[in-house]
Chain A
């Protein structure tokens, strides 16, 4: 009972503090502090409720147990991370995004292809492509190559649609200007088309970071060697070792956020001129 009371009191205290902070001066520090306090509160509530109601660790392990498991299984987690993220997700991400980028540039020259591919691309982007995973596992085998292939087809269409949209984003005056200079196709592309497309391209790249990780993990549910984040999650779930599952999920969350954050940082550097980045 004391756990529950502690949890509720802690929650009320933190909430009051946050409300007070939110009303006060909005410094950089406060803007980071408020969500951090909220996150900590959630963890404390989780820990207390699991202990207070004596919830079986088979259902929901407390954060402390997850942290302990995380630290004690670092080598396994690292091996899984390399298998799934570096080999599967990252390679597929690079191949898929570059292929989509080059296709978009090829398509951009032809209005006919653009009008044909865009609706199809938009359509495919909404499909449950992840379902292709069993087929690709059959074609490319159990190891990371099949995961990479799943990621390639998952990221291809969102990236294609965004890049094509970006290449059409240049405004009429800027295009006319290039004409008055008698610029060649490639000069127009490199000096106007690509820079103007960058905000869209990075939007695509950011969306694809999450898709890549999902593709690589879920593809492992259909068959994998005895390592990898998806493999570990599905087998440890089977053995009801939920603390290990949560540890893998933590790795996935950290990897996903870091991947996304990296792309967002590069975006900030490249598209510093765009109104959304200027503040």
Chain B
């Protein structure tokens, strides 16, 4: 019990403080509009009336947490999944693009990493560009990719998946190159003393050694994939997906809708990263790399 408190206690305390801050900020930010409304009908608000009003506006500057929770509840549990107003439906649209892009990006990244580790020329030509490309705001390309792919008749899931792929690809290459090079000289020399073929030392030494690095970059990659899919939904005036909800919300000042889409995206990101973390723990434990 004390152990649980030791880890969860501080986190819960800070979350509590954050929630209080959020309520405080909601009152402070929404008060102006509440007063404005009241003064127009020549009414002065008492403090409790003011607080009540700041918590229940339709388009508040900052919705109170319970308003967002209510909205999420109404748009997930109460709506049919197939409904266009269901957040589950929108989340699924974004998630499917994320996963597809992530899968492509990972496969491509691993293949390129293997090439880089085994070919000196490739290492010297490609690696500097891979590293440089990490410093470039790739996300800025998103609108163009969407529009261009649309113009050649590719629309829907694929353009978004393409952006996701692009974003998850780079962390995987960098992490895998590091991982495949993780075995030290002594281990590689040991393989040589057994005159093991290249393939054997790859499958039995390099690949297993790279696993912790692979998982670390997969976690970064999937988070990046999700961001890619969301941003990919912005430029086309998309009608579906979490990004579309954000954009529509910002057009019509529907702050509660923006916040609920945001929270959904956050939950999605956290679950995806947690899922990979779980696979990582199971895999590494089976391989005997962690206890």
- Chains A and B directly touch (beta carbon < 8 Å): yes
Contact indicator A245/B144 (Cβ below 8 Å): yes
* A18: contacting residue among B11, B121, B139, CB under 8 A: B121
Contact indicator B137/A217 (Cβ below 8 Å): yes
By beta carbon, the residue of chain A nearest B261 is A131
A130-164 interface with B by 8 A CB criterion: 130-132, 134-135, 137-139
Contact indicator A19/B121 (Cβ below 8 Å): yes
Contact indicator B269/A229 (Cβ below 8 Å): no
Most buried by A among B12, B140, B250: B140
* B124: contacting residue among A18, A114, A234, CB under 8 A: A18
User: B109-126 vs A: 1/0 string, CB under 8 Å?
Assistant: 000000000001101111
Contact indicator A126/B273 (Cβ below 8 Å): yes
Taking CB atoms, residues of chain B closer than 8 Å to A120 are 11, 14-15
A1-50 interface with B by 8 A CB criterion: 15, 18-19, 21-23, 30-31, 34-35, 37-39
Give the secondary structure class of B's interface.
Answer: helix
A123 within 8 A of B: yes
User: A230-264 vs B: 1/0 string, CB under 8 Å?
Assistant: 10011001101010011011001100110111000
A98 within 8 A of B: no
Taking CB atoms, residues of chain B closer than 8 Å to A116 are 9-14
Most buried by B among A18, A135, A209, A248: A135
> How close is A256's CB to chain B, nearest CB, in angstroms?
5
A203 within 8 A of B: no
Contact indicator A134/B246 (Cβ below 8 Å): yes
Which segment of B35-43, B80-88, B99-107, B251-259 sits at the interface?
B251-259
Given A35-B124, A39-B129, A134-B246, also A237-B144 (CB < 8 A): yes
By beta carbon, the residue of chain B nearest A207 is B134
> How close is B88's CB to chain A, nearest CB, in angstroms?
18
A165 within 8 A of B: no
Given A38-B125, A128-B269, also A209-B135 (CB < 8 A): yes
By beta carbon, the residue of chain B nearest A17 is B121
B210-269 interface with A by 8 A CB criterion: 219, 223, 226-227, 230-231, 234-235, 242-243, 246-247, 249-250, 253, 255, 258-259, 261-262, 265-266, 269
* A259: contacting residue among B135, B243, B270, CB under 8 A: B135
Given A18-B125, A135-B258, also A249-B14 (CB < 8 A): no
A218 within 8 A of B: yes
CA distance A138 to B61 in the complex (A): 8
> How close is B93's CB to chain A, nearest CB, in angstroms?
15
Contact indicator A15/B266 (Cβ below 8 Å): no
Taking CB atoms, residues of chain A closer than 8 Å to B227 are 128, 130
CA distance A98 to B207 in the complex (A): 40
A269 within 8 A of B: no
CA distance A229 to B223 in the complex (A): 24
Contact indicator A230/B269 (Cβ below 8 Å): no
> How close is A21's CB to chain B, nearest CB, in angstroms?
8
> How close is B31's CB to chain A, nearest CB, in angstroms?
14
* B231: contacting residue among A112, A115, A130, A248, CB under 8 A: A130
User: B267-290 vs A: 1/0 string, CB under 8 Å?
Assistant: 001100100000000000000000
B46 within 8 A of A: no
A-B contact pairs, 10 of them (CB 8 A): A22-B125, A34-B121, A112-B9, A112-B10, A123-B270, A131-B265, A134-B258, A138-B255, A233-B143, A256-B135
